[in-house]
């Protein structure tokens, strides 16, 4: 297949945060893989011609609790299929289903269920890249929308039980490094090939730095449910922005973090910010009551306002990844930089260098946004899975 486009953002390149813009440009793909990319007019008659908008790599979202009425941690196979089939409507072609803090036995049950479901999800479904466990090893004082009664300190047996239940699916664990046993837990998880992130944490900057020494490489939803930056104690936020070992995820809905602060964040940590949705079951749904972590949340408006717990605590979001990119552009971040934060940076974080870029040998996972940065069409492995018939 030969695709010609008015603009292509490749999100490729050796420089962190850099992205090539081809205007116009083209690509070819075969057997689900990109075979060539070029600037200018295509070398032949295109199978697909995109005369406006911008062609990007498919979005990679590392934090999806649920979507379209489905809470993934508590769903059956049909619910998982619904989410994975419909996420390409938002431009997302790969994601990490996320399980928030629950009693340990409940998290093990969720992992066992997922392990029996994920292998059956293939194109046209978005790629399931593993599972993100956002807890239960978190600080009760920084629980946010998580139930603090279920927060526990890590120990080797609990970690082994979670990893065994996941059958290799556990790909990312968010924990609080100040907890007893946390540094040993980080080393245990890293040895098992799991990405470890600081989150829901009251850690000092020194404790976050020590965690990075042990193998932590990420901070979960920067600014939210963590010790903030103070001019005498940088906290989680200050260490995340200044420590080049760390990449921070950002919920770019303009509610969890203001546009002005988001722009400052991109400026302070270029090439080290990745966009996530933290979407809950209410995403893509009308106002109403839903679940997160098995407990109620309420969406009062369907205008992008996040859902909340009964006490008003923000609880996930209704964000789309294409909207996340558009929001960052509106905040003053360059389009190419915002695209890289939603594609290559998260893909690289979890070791999937075949995703999140448009370059030879990468997967032909593509998203075409219109001039308003809304998803018009999506391809996974070279197969169009969303949008009008093209060509």
Q: What is the DSSP string of 324-348?
A: HHHHHHHTT--HHHHHHHHTHHHHH
Whether 76 and 14 map to the same domain: the answer is no
pLDDT at residue 325 tops 90: yes
Q: How far apart are CA 127 and CA 32, in angstroms?
A: 13
Which two three-digit tokens encode residue 124? 């046209």
Averaged pLDDT of the chain? 96
Whether 186 and 283 map to the same domain: the answer is yes
Which two three-digit tokens encode residue 122? 């293939």
Split at pLDDT 50, 70, 90, the class of 301 is: confident
pLDDT at residue 16 tops 60: no
| pLDDT at residue 174, as a whole number | 98
DSSP string for 3-24: EEES-EE---SSSTT---EESS
Which two three-digit tokens encode residue 373? 């940065």
**How much is the pTM?**
0.97
Our answer to whether residue 365 is catalytic in this structure is: no
Mean pLDDT of 48-69: 98
Contact 325, 335 (CB under 8 A): yes
Helical (H) or strand (E) element with 235:
helix 235-242
Strands (E), 179-219: 195-198, 218-219
Residue 236 is assigned to a structural domain of this protein: yes
Give the CATH number, domain containing residue 192: 3.20.20.140
pLDDT at residue 296 tops 70: yes
> Which residue out of 202, 253, 278, 322 is catalytically annotated?
278
- Domain housing 367: 2-56+356-386
Domain tally for the chain? 2
Q: What percent of the chain has pLDDT over 90?
A: 95
Whether 361 and 274 map to the same domain: the answer is no
pLDDT in tens, 107-144: 999 999 999 999 888 889 999 999 999 999 999 999 99
């Amino acid at each position: 297949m030969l695709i010609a486009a008015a603009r292509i953002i490749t999100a490729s390149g050796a420089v962190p945060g850099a992205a090539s813009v081809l205007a116009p440009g083209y690509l070819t793909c075969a057997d689900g893989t990109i075979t060539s990319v070029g600037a200018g007019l295509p070398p032949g008659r295109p199978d697909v011609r995109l005369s406006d908008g911008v062609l990007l790599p498919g979005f990679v979202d590392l934090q999806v609790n649920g979507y379209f009425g489905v809470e993934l941690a508590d769903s059956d196979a049909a619910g998982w299929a619904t989410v994975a089939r419909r996420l390409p409507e938002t431009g997302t072609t790969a994601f990490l289903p996320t399980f928030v803090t629950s009693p340990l036995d409940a998290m093990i049950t969720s992992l066992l269920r997922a392990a029996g479901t994920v292998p059956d999800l293939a194109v046209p479904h978005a790629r399931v890249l593993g599972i993100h466990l956002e807890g239960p090893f978190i600080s009760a004082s920084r629980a946010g929308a998580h139930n603090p009664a279920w927060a526990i300190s890590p120990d080797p047996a609990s970690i082994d039980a979670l990893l065994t239940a996941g059958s290799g699916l556990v790909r990312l664990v968010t924990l609080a490094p100040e907890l007893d046993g946390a540094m040993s837990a980080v080393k245990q998880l890293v040895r098992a090939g799991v990405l470890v992130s600081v989150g829901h944490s009251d850690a000092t900057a020194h404790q976050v730095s020590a965690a990075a020494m042990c193998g932590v490489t990420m901070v979960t939803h920067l600014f939210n449910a963590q010790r903030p930056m103070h001019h005498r104690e940088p906290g989680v936020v200050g260490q995340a922005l200044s420590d080049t070992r760390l990449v921070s995820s950002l919920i770019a809905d303009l509610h969890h973090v203001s546009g002005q602060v988001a722009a400052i964040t991109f400026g302070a940590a270029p090439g080290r910010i990745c966009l996530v949705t933290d979407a809950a079951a209410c995403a893509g749904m009308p106002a109403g009551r839903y679940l997160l972590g098995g407990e109620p949340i309420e969406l009062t408006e369907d205008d992008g306002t996040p859902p909340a717990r009964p006490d008003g605590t923000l609880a996930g979001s209704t964000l789309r990844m294409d909207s996340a990119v558009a929001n960052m552009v509106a905040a003053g971040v360059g389009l190419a930089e915002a695209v890289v934060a939603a594609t290559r940076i998260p893909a690289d974080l979890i070791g999937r260098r075949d995703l999140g870029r448009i370059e030879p040998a990468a997967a032909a996972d593509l998203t075409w946004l219109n001039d308003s940065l809304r998803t018009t069409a999506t391809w996974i492995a070279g197969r169009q899975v969303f949008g009008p018939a093209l060509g």
